[in-house]
Amino acid sequence: MTTHFIGDTATLTGRSLKHVTRSLDTIITTCVMPIAFLLLFVYVFGGAIETGTDVSYIDYLLPGILLITIATGISYTAYRLFQDMQGGIVERFQSMPIARSSTLWAHVLTSLVANALSLVVVVGVAFAMGFRSGANVLDWLGVAGILLLFTLALTWIAVIPGLVAKSPDGASAFSYPLIFLPFISSAFVPTASMPGPVAWFAQYQPVTPIVNSVRALLTGQPVGGDIWIALAWLMGVLVVAYAVAQVIYRRKVS
């Protein structure tokens, strides 16, 4: 049974990845907005922003930009799944002797690959703009692990509108609040510099400990307790989103 699931998922993932490689403008589009934010905040606003740290502003900014890159990319997961649902492809797959859950996992794995490529492009641009990291190999692995969990959590959230949306715009529009969330966090400025209620929200929403953890790892500084808060948020969101997506999917294909 496990071998059956793995083989089916690999086959369907290959199909989905072909769609991505044939339409590389998807990855380019995913990168355009984060890179635009990177350029805007570093070269236009960066000189006027005080972070209260001794790291350069691009080093301070990059973790938040990476999260925005992922939040932008997962909207295409919802869109691709919506297209498969509306086009009858999923129903056709269910009439074949394949593992039922392999359809969803194929979209999730495609999201991981596509977002990884987008992150590589954005980090490359950041290095060209002067980003430098004090991270060692273990720190980079920690960053990769956090970004992987973040992508998984958001991708399973994306699966839900991909299953229930009534239009392509509705399938992808859910990502807009997720893209906006890093702006009300420690991604661009310290939360202490914000007005009272905004600072409270920024301090306790999930993006802030995730950004703080990635920033500490990239700059080679102690991570502290933020890493455990970040992991708790990520695992909690992942488990809930996965469970909800599976329930909806079973109802759709039953």
Report how far residue 70's alpha carbon sits from residue 111's, in angstroms, rounded to the nearest whole number.
9
pTM value?
0.90
Locate tokens 């990855």: which residue?
27
Report how far residue 155's alpha carbon sits from residue 157's, in angstroms, rounded to the nearest whole number.
5
CB within 8 Å of 25: residues ≥ 6 apart: none
Note the pLDDT of residue 232. Answer: 96
Note the pLDDT of residue 249. Answer: 86
Note the pLDDT of residue 23. Answer: 65
How many domains are contained in the chain?
A: 1
Query: Which segments of the chain have a pLDDT < 70?
Result: 1-5, 19-27, 87-100, 254
CA 155 to chain centre: 7
Note the pLDDT of residue 111. Answer: 87
Both structure tokens of 5: 């699931």
Note the pLDDT of residue 229. Answer: 95
Which of 146, 127, 154 lies closest to 72, judged by CA? 154
Note the pLDDT of residue 222. Answer: 87
Identify the domain containing residue 223 by its residue range: 2-253
Both structure tokens of 106: 């194929």
Which of 232, 169, 200, 181 lies closest to 70, judged by CA? 181
SS3 219: coil
Taking only Cα atoms into account, the Rg of the chain, rounded to an integer number of angstroms, comes to: 19
